[in-house]
Amino acid sequence: MIAPSILSADFAHLAEAADSVPTSDWLHVDVMDNHFVPNLTLGLPVVTSLHAATDLPLDCHLMIDDPDRWAPGYAEAGAANVTFHVEAAADAAQTARSIRAAGALAGLAVKPGTELEPYLDVLREFDTLLVMTVEPGFGGQSFMPEVLPKVRLAREHVRSGHLRLFLEVDGGISADTIAQAAEAGADVFVAGSAVFGADDPGRAVEALRDRARAAMAV
């Protein structure tokens, strides 16, 4: 699954950006509050408007403080998947239940420096695990292959039946790096500048999908 990140799109033309990637599986929306990460992007009103402007499922990645309070509102606004950071959550399991009760899939995100092992049990409450392959906060960073062992570990637990999850990677995903992530076990790929920086964003989505499928088939 390919989830283009509108962080790399023109914020004045988000509806047009969504229209330019019609075969995407999800549309990734980075929400930043300038507290959890040192950047400020967009919030709930924009997500509400974007949901009304596109049929693509919205994949909201909340890089915010106090997600326990704010995350369910994104599900209520129509997001298909709402992901928040374990580093910011007071009660990750309860927040996941609240997101699901509001009608969305619940996702848990981990920064590059956060170990996965302590959260394997709580991941049973989630539908998505988002492994950051850059430090969260800004687009256009270089892919960090050193975090891929976390993806491999999660994939092992999925294969064993311990977990049932989408395994998502976000950060530096491009034609040059997507195969590494796919081989490690990821099945959802967030790509920003590799899509919206391309001359034809729709064709870029399909090219990324082809590379990921080829790597999974090996």
State the catalytic residues: 30, 170
Phi, psi of 136 (to 5 degrees): -65, 145
Provide the token pair at 68. Answer: 């326990």
Asked if residues 159 and 168 have their Cβ atoms less than 8 Å apart, the reply is no
**3-state secondary structure (DSSP) of residue 45:** helix
Asked if residues 166 and 129 have their Cβ atoms less than 8 Å apart, the reply is yes
Residue 81 β-bridge partners: 59, 105
- Residue 23 CA to residue 45 CA, distance in Å, equals 25
Determine whether 118 is exposed, middle or buried from the number of CB atoms within 10 Å of its CB (0-12, 13-18, 19+): exposed
Phi, psi of 181 (to 5 degrees): -70, -40
- Residue 25 CA to residue 169 CA, distance in Å, equals 14
- Residue 106 CA to residue 59 CA, distance in Å, equals 10
